[in-house]
Structure 1
Amino acid sequence: MDIEKLWEILYRERNTASLQELPDRFCEDVRDYIAKLETEKEEADETRKGFLEDEMRNARMKIEDIIRRRIGKIIKLASSGMDTPPKGMLDEEREMFQAVKSQVEEGRARIFAYIFGKPALIRSKPQKQEKTHTERYNEKDNDDTDNKHSNQYDMVRILENIPTFMGTDGRIYKVGKEDVIMLPKTNAEILCNRGVAMRFEAYKRERGERIR
């Protein structure tokens, strides 16, 4: 690694929208290059030392510019919904991509649920640490399930297929038409007001009236 190679890498990052592929040992090579300049500076005379200090300062500026531009591209890619990191990323950049992607998805879901009061689309699969609520209830189990949930939840029957959403309890809900499920009261009220769900007690009364 030298100042010319750093300039070439920076030039490509500046002039292309895509993330450029870096050498596998980019970080190690840059670190060795800076260390070499430091060693040379300690042994150089005053004139040579001045040139080496200028080169080190110039090299650091280029390195910082390269990393800054790449981070901007990585954040843009991660927030666009891309599922897998593109080729050419350093190991540290891949970790950054996954972390940003996870935070963006979680934040988007929470903001949409809070502001709009309706299910928020989640484009990619939930992370392993997220709890998914896929438990479905049959009508014959209603009396048992009523005793297992607090007054903060309502049992509803889903009338239409709806997108996956995050409940006010922080859980991810995946439900489909005809599902009977316990939901946080706020989410249950929102879905019922939108006409895509019916509180189960109302559904049972309606069905009983039809039978009579």
Structure 2
Amino acid sequence: MSRISTSDLHGYLIDERNLGSLAEIPATLYEEIHADILALYKQAAAHEDPFGEGAQSHLKERESLREYIRDLYAVRTRKILALALARANGEEIDRDEIRMMVPGERVLFDVVYESASSCRKTLLDGKPTFETTAYHFVPAEVSAEQAPVLLQPVNETPDELCADEVNVTSADAPAPESYRVIAVYENLPEFQDYSGRIYALSPGDVVSLPPQMADVLCKDNKALSIRLRK
């Protein structure tokens, strides 16, 4: 099976926005995009220079996939909710619409329909219902190998990041353990970190970055590692 490209995903989004009904998408689209996002993350993390063109291109592509799939999900979900509520109110809906739903979306449709039907019976007909409905769906393609892998610090000891280090007393909570705080020495071109955050840093900026990125900037004398104390 060929990989779904960013342009393919953008095409699905355009079709979904232009159609009043649900557009056809691959049954495993969400699972495939999830796998691609994870693969791009791993490819970016494998580069020695996280600021280089190779790593940054992977991160930018990953962020594009994330934005497109979120937008597609939002548009399709609005349509699915409207269909489920219409059916719960006794309206006829096109069965082709249901066939256009991928498995996880069909579960959402059923849950909303059943919940709305129960609510209608209780509030309008005075018939208490005791069913409990909740969304639960496990994609068939998901496996332990697809679970996100947290990046480990390049150096276990923060002192090894830079020869020089500044100790700062702060009442604020420290940066997350997976991030390190640095003070920037010079202007840096815009870049993304592994979580998709975009930075445009100037001298004097204090920011928390993944340890791999902080390590590179410190070793290149472009930043100074900061140790926070409460």
TM-score, scaled relative to structure 1: 0.50
- The match for 2:31 is 28
- Give per-residue Cα distances to partners, 1:57-114, cap 9 Å, x unaligned: 121011111111111110000111157661121111111111100111111222224x
- Give per-residue Cα distances to partners, 1:1-22, cap 9 Å, x unaligned: 1211110111111111111121
2:11 is the alignment partner of 1:8: yes
Q: SS state of the match for residue 11, structure 2?
A: helix
- Kindly provide the amino acid, as one letter, of the partner of residue 48 in structure 1: G
- The match for 1:73 is 79
Q: Which runs of 4+ in 1 moved over 6 A?
A: none
- Give per-residue Cα distances to partners, 1:24-82, cap 9 Å, x unaligned: 22123212211221122123342222222222112101111111111111000011115
Count of matched residue positions in the alignment of Structure 1 and Structure 2: 118
Q: Which has the higher contact order (CA 8 A, sep 6+)?
A: 2
- The match for 1:110 is 122
Q: 2:6 touches 2:65 (CA, 8 Å); kept in 1?
A: yes
C-alpha RMSD over aligned residues? 2.2
Supply the distance in 2 between the matched residues of 1:39 and 1:24 (Cα, whole angstroms): 25
**Correspondent of 2:100 among 84, 88, 101:** 88
- Kindly provide the amino acid, as one letter, of the partner of residue 3 in structure 1: T
- The match for 1:54 is 60
Runs of 5+ consecutive residues of structure 1 not aligned to the other structure: 114-165, 172-212
Q: Identity of aligned pairs, percent?
A: 24
Q: 1:79 touches 1:100 (CA, 8 Å); kept in 2?
A: yes
- The match for 2:44 is 41
- Kindly provide the amino acid, as one letter, of the partner of residue 17 in structure 2: R
- The match for 1:134 is none
Supply the distance in 2 between the matched residues of 1:2 and 1:32 (Cα, whole angstroms): 12
Runs of 5+ consecutive residues of structure 2 not aligned to the other structure: 131-230
Supply the distance in 2 between the matched residues of 1:109 and 1:60 (Cα, whole angstroms): 39
Q: 1:2 touches 1:33 (CA, 8 Å); kept in 2?
A: no
Supply the distance in 2 between the matched residues of 1:32 and 1:57 (Cα, whole angstroms): 13
Q: SS state of the match for residue 93, structure 1?
A: helix
Q: 2:33 touches 2:65 (CA, 8 Å); kept in 1?
A: no
Q: 2:27 touches 2:103 (CA, 8 Å); kept in 1?
A: no
2:109 is the alignment partner of 1:101: no
Q: 1:21 touches 1:88 (CA, 8 Å); kept in 2?
A: yes
Supply the distance in 2 between the matched residues of 1:40 and 1:109 (Cα, whole angstroms): 53
- Kindly provide the amino acid, as one letter, of the partner of residue 66 in structure 1: L
Q: How does 1:154-193 map to 2 (within 5 A)?
A: 166-167=126-127
| More helix as a share of residues | 1
Supply the distance in 2 between the matched residues of 1:63 and 1:41 (Cα, whole angstroms): 20
Q: Report the CA distance between 1:170 and its aligned residue.
A: 5.1
- Give per-residue Cα distances to partners, 1:154-186, cap 9 Å, x unaligned: xxxxxxxxxxxx44x659xxxxxxxxxxxxxxx
